[in-house]
Structure 1
Amino acid sequence: MFKRMVREFDPSADPVLIAAGQLDQIGPKRGVLYIADPTLTSFARLRQRVGPGSYSLCGVTHTLASDLTLETIGDLLSEAVMPWDALVCTSTAALETVRRVLAAKIEFLQWRFGRGARLRLPQLPIIPLGVHTADFTFSDDEKASHRQALGIAPDEVVALYLGRLLFFSKAHPFPMFQGLQAAAERSGKKIVLLLCGRAPNPQLEAPFLAGAAKYAPDVRTILVDSRDDDLRRGAWAAGDLFVSLADGIQETFGLTPIEAMAVGLPAVVTDWNGYRDTVRDEVDGFRIRTWAPEPGLSGEAYALRYELKLLDYDNYCWAAAAATSVDLGQLADCLTALVEQPDLRRRMGLSGQARARETFDWAQVYRQYQALWGELNARRLAAAQDAEEWAWAKAAPRLPPSRLDPFHAFGHYPTAMIGGDTVVSLVPGATIELYRDRAADGLFVNAGAADPVVSLMWPRLEAGPTTVAALAKDAKLSVGWADAVVGALAKMGVVRLEPPAPTQRG
């Protein structure tokens, strides 16, 4: 099914399945492992088992505000992440946050271990998210039909907001309400605010609707559920302009403005995060000035409270967003201009649509990923020609410190350890039937002594005392795996174990 889906997008593709655990197959097959999130560190730990130079890793940023994500970014410096790996940043805003976190971690590591510590950074390219722009193409008849279905008259100007209804982390709606009300009063036009979104619960949805009624009384508000594909598509078709005044640290890119541009809607957005990379001010729409406190006591206090769990993630984001504001005067001017001037809406909409197709269509974005993966593989292969660099990479410990073999990390717990020369013998009266009865007992589920393996060992066990190494040979196992099988048989009370006989001196 997966191969068929891939070939629908790229008939020339050659999908290859690499089973979990076959880490050594990644490099020779493709050279780069792509991860759809920023967790390079956990995959770097996995890669250590076959060597940091065996293949490249490529991840991508999403939100960067959570504590776990920020720790993961900082750990890029202390895990086996290599210069032939990459963390794709979806915007210049995301890149700058990553750089600031890494700079703070470098400062800490150099204080802790000295400035001679060898630090290796992954590549940090900027590649945006994309959209299938063809999915956002509507004929005039489709637009008219969707507007009619929503009860929107031809003389009404529709301002569309599409996104989650979360004032504490996404976009506070007060500026949008006040700006549209000002545009209605100044222009005398009939304005509809089309809220296409959802809230996690009715208690969070209620302030949006109450706020619209209170702060934009002359603006008619329509709420549609964005989870319904047909309703969401209809909302895109019905809009005349798009509004998204993001003001939360949770956002790093913002996909809806480029979807709006693909539709051909002028976008009114905040001068904030990834919106700076997508909407060109006074070209594809307007970017509205924002204000937030400079670093200092309040921000440090919010971070401390979040670390102490006195603030949960949502309230941490809200603490930052509550102190962030939008220039209401500029917003009112820009919305009024778009409401009053259909030609301006059309010109900006066409500009944004062309930009979306040329820059943010997935076909364009994916080519950037392909070029990056080729570059990463080339960096890795070039490093293999640098004797000093490659020797350093090959000297990496095979197991990461947090993922040690439990029989090593806790190897001092048992009285004795099972090895190749450990003597194994059947408990008096033990039969293959006894073993199978015990293996089927719920007390020994998944104990690690499978019947096909034990059956190969059994003839030698019946012949008398033997060694783990001999049993391993019969079962065609490594001694390391036979240790575990024999250990499980001993746990079941089927065999007993003895240390190897002392070596006889001549």
Structure 2
Amino acid sequence: MRALYLPSLPRNPERHQEQWDQTTVMGARVFGWTALCALLEYGTYDAYFVPGLTDQKKEELIEDGLTADSVKRLVAVPIGSKLPITNSDQIVLTTFDPQLRTLATTRRKLQRPDAPVCGLIHSINSERVVFAVLQHYFAGLCEADLLFCSSRAGMRTIDVYIEEVGRLLLPNITYRPRRVLVPLGVTIPLLEPEHRINLRQLLNIGAQETITLFFGRLSQMSKGDLGPMLIALSLLSRRETHTHLVIAGDDKQTNEARRLKALANELGCIQNLTIWPNPSARDKHMLYSGADIFVSPSDNIQETFGLTVAEALSYGLPAVVSDWDGYRDIVSDGETGFLVPSLFPSSLETLEVSDCRISMVEEDSLAQSTTIDIPVLSEKIQSLLHNPALRRQMGRAARQSAEKHYSWPVIVKRYEEVWGESIQAAKTAPCEEDLASAVFRMSLEKSFGHFATGKRNPHCKCFITAEGREWLKRPARFYFLCHLYDPPTPQRFNQMLREIAARPGIPATKVVETLGGNGDHVSTADAQWSLGRLFKYGLVASNEECTVTGDQSGALQAVTRDFGNGTTGSTESSGTNR
């Protein structure tokens, strides 16, 4: 069996926007949801394990848009339980972010050193990502583990982080996970020509008028300043070259629409502009389907790939975009669109990667002073407006490129190919704990042992208490001791308590040895936990925590210590039926 372990499941951000109109729709969230849908639709793995998955969560996923058949592929795993797999089964632990440390810990707890862990990058302009890279050094990762990078520019940034962090560490501590270039995926849509008519009717423009579309989050702070695009529109208008520009996207953060309308009015191009804030998923489909040209002058370093650009290509739109990070991977200049030169200001050398309000202002200032060549932007749009044949040619090439490189069946297949390579690599060289991983192997006893008054002696002698004898008369009570996340096994406590009652003074180590099952680490830990539960509820006491006296029948009774005042008090039952 081949299985995928997903520590959590994303929700559909576009549906939530329609319901509550509050959640900011971000590309990473859209990707996470569509990636889940694609894995369940196109993936060939036999099981997709999800800890803590409930029937209610399954219903929510169906409401979000997953099919019932897709949801059936998700296998619920009670939190804290073992996965229903054998040693011969192949498993990959994956997450939709770069936080590999938690998965590495999960792998260690599952005792599956042959299971690769895998993460992905999104926005990487934060010191949180730098610290994630630092954690990768010490998390017990190996060469079979993976970090998918969505663009060459993003991979280069991660390599810079690795190099800079590595300079501060000892030479024998190396970065081991493999970085692999795999772009984000998109759904190839069914093209519906009637949307061209419907969109123009909604915009109240002529049936033959061209539409240039920008789609993305409207925020000059965290996405891109669209002012230069409006200047390019005004330049086109002055040259008697007309197009209707639609700016659409989530606008919950900064109410950017108001500023853009004011600027367009000042530039004299407001009549050729429609701003469409917070579009629904249906609106989005109509906008892409009805547009002729896509434009995106990104200038912000939070952009790593450019999901909306890949979406535009999937709709067969030629794209005029800034020559920027992942954009230059997606758009082939002169074939599927045009790249517009971008230029950082000289102040770039004074800034640092950080993660605070001040650094956000600095990054915003950087984006706001990054130049996108407006004359070239205007010229490239004009060349497409004047040449319908070129538009159609580039549009066909764009859709073909999306189908070949970014469609979800292609991306999921690539994921599984790389996972397969890592599974084979882990078989020959499984992950081994090294000195560096000890940072995340902190002893709980050393770190927190001083919190309690003391620690029970593992060799202490165990005696049943009067309370314990009452519970033996009512074995249904043992259900209250059972683990929260596992199927209830009250007989475990009943058996252990009867063993202690039959052998007064039996050492705790002997109780664990006798009832620890197979004697492996998990069985021993389970027996130790069960004995701890009996102590916790006062059903068992030790010679160090009680005095032992005989009753009239010679049965042993335990008197537990009052830790508050150092006196002792009898736990003997009053004989009433409790």
TM-score bin, normalised by smaller chain: 0.7 to 0.9
Q: Which amino acid is the alignment partner of residue 115 of structure 2? A: Y
Match for 2:507 among 452, 460, 467? 467
Match for 2:192 among 112, 134, 138? 138
**Match of 1:132, SS?**
coil
Task: State the distance in 1 between where 2:337 and 2:162 align.
Answer: 34
Task: State the distance in 1 between where 2:529 and 2:514 align.
Answer: 15
Q: Does the alignment pair 1:343 with 2:397?
A: no
**Contact 1:52–1:394 (CA<8 Å) still a contact in 2?**
no
Match of 1:388 in 2: none
Task: State the distance in 2 between where 1:418 and 1:447 align.
Answer: 25
Task: State the distance in 2 between where 1:156 and 1:53 align.
Answer: 60
**Match of 2:532, SS?**
helix
Match of 2:250 in 1: 198
Q: Does the alignment pair 1:97 with 2:157?
A: yes
Q: Does the alignment pair 1:487 with 2:547?
A: no
**Match of 1:103, SS?**
helix
Unaligned 5+ segments in structure 1 are 385-392, 501-506
Seq. identity, %: 24
Task: State the distance in 2 between where 1:435 and 1:292 align.
Answer: 79
**Match of 1:124, SS?**
strand
Change (3 A) 1:445 1:260: closer
Task: State the distance in 2 between where 1:342 and 1:107 align.
Answer: 54
Match of 1:453 in 2: 492
Please give the residue correspondences for 1:417-428 in structure 2 after superposition, counting only pairs within 5 Å: 417-418=455-456, 420-428=458-466
TM-score, structure 1 normalization? 0.82
Task: State the distance in 2 between where 1:178 and 1:30 align.
Answer: 56
Please give the residue correspondences for 1:332-411 in structure 2 after superposition, counting only pairs within 5 Å: 332-383=378-429, 394=432, 396=434, 400-404=438-442, 406-407=444-445, 409-411=447-449
Task: State the distance in 2 between where 1:12 and 1:101 align.
Answer: 34
Q: Deviations over 1:20-66 (max 9, x none)?
A: 55379487322433322211222123323466842222221111112
More displaced stretch, 32-41 vs 163-172: 32-41
Match of 1:121 in 2: 176
Structure 1 runs, 4 residues or longer, greater than 6 Å off: 5-8, 434-437, 444-450
Change (3 A) 1:229 1:412: closer
Match of 1:387 in 2: none
**Match of 2:210, SS?**
strand
Match of 1:328 in 2: 374
**Match of 2:244, SS?**
strand
Q: Deviations over 1:420-458 (max 9, x none)?
A: 532122345654359989x89x9x997999854332233
Q: Which amino acid is the alignment partner of residue 456 of structure 1? A: Q
Change (3 A) 1:7 1:160: closer
Task: State the distance in 2 between where 1:63 and 1:92 align.
Answer: 13
Please give the residue correspondences for 1:43-62 in structure 2 after superposition, counting only pairs within 5 Å: 43-49=103-109, 53-62=113-122
Q: Does the alignment pair 1:87 with 2:150?
A: no
Aligned residues: 475
Q: Which amino acid is the alignment partner of residue 223 of structure 2? A: K
Task: State the distance in 2 between where 1:460 and 1:218 align.
Answer: 85
Match of 2:269 in 1: 217
**Match of 1:243, SS?**
strand
Match of 1:34 in 2: 94
Match of 1:266 in 2: 318
**Contact 1:419–1:483 (CA<8 Å) still a contact in 2?**
no
Task: State the distance in 2 between where 1:474 and 1:375 align.
Answer: 43
Task: State the distance in 2 between where 1:446 and 1:481 align.
Answer: 13
Task: State the distance in 1 between where 2:261 and 2:144 align.
Answer: 50
Task: State the distance in 2 between where 1:52 and 1:451 align.
Answer: 29
How far has the Cα of 1:297 moved from its partner? 5.4
Task: State the distance in 1 between where 2:401 and 2:256 align.
Answer: 35
Change (3 A) 1:432 1:402: farther
Task: State the distance in 1 between where 2:238 and 2:254 align.
Answer: 30
**Contact 1:268–1:285 (CA<8 Å) still a contact in 2?**
yes
Change (3 A) 1:10 1:165: closer
**Contact 1:180–1:335 (CA<8 Å) still a contact in 2?**
no
Q: Does the alignment pair 1:75 with 2:151?
A: no
TM-score, structure 2 normalization? 0.72
**Contact 1:186–1:336 (CA<8 Å) still a contact in 2?**
no
Task: State the distance in 1 between where 2:115 and 2:483 align.
Answer: 37
How far has the Cα of 1:105 moved from its partner? 1.0
Q: Does the alignment pair 1:283 with 2:322?
A: no
**Contact 2:319–2:336 (CA<8 Å) still a contact in 1?**
yes
